[in-house]
Homo-oligomer: A and B are copies of this chain.
Amino acid sequence: MGELPPQVQNLAAQLQQVQQQLQLILTQKAQLESLIKEAKDALEELEKSDSDHAFKAVGNVLVKLKKDEVEKDLKEKIETYEVRKNMLERQENKLRERLADLQAKLKSAINVQAG
């Protein structure tokens, strides 16, 4: 087989680009999931605490805050992360559809070529 025809090359290039975009989205989603897990773990530990205070680390300073306040902060954080995660998942789904579409087109282009 000689050089690939321009149409096939073009589809393969698009496919690769979509795969890279998808990879980036999946990495960002994994980071958000890890932040959500961490915030939920913190809430779980706070429930076990018999103190009405907890500390929050900001840089190298640890600030004593009311437990309620820390819990409210964590819940807001989780909400923000969930919103961002949902946005990423919508993008992920669109990219997966586009990927399937490009793979089908590439397959049929290769079949035409080989037929």
Contacts and interface: CB of A to CB of B under 8 A. Distances in A.
A64 B66 CA distance: 12
A113 interface: no
A54 to B, nearest CB: 5
Contact of A63 (B45, B58, B63, B64): B45
Given A48-B69, A69-B48, A42 B64 contact: no
A61 B56 contact: yes
Given A55-B55, A57-B57, A46 B63 contact: yes
A61 B54 contact: yes
Contacts of A69: 48
A81 B67 CA distance: 31
Given A45-B63, A54-B64, A55-B62, 17 more contacts: A35-B59, A38-B58, A42-B58, A45-B56, A45-B65, A48-B65, A48-B69, A49-B63, A50-B66, A51-B64, A53-B64, A54-B61, A55-B55, A56-B60, A56-B62, A57-B61, A61-B74
Interface of A: 35, 38-39, 41-42, 45-46, 48-51, 53-66, 69-70, 74
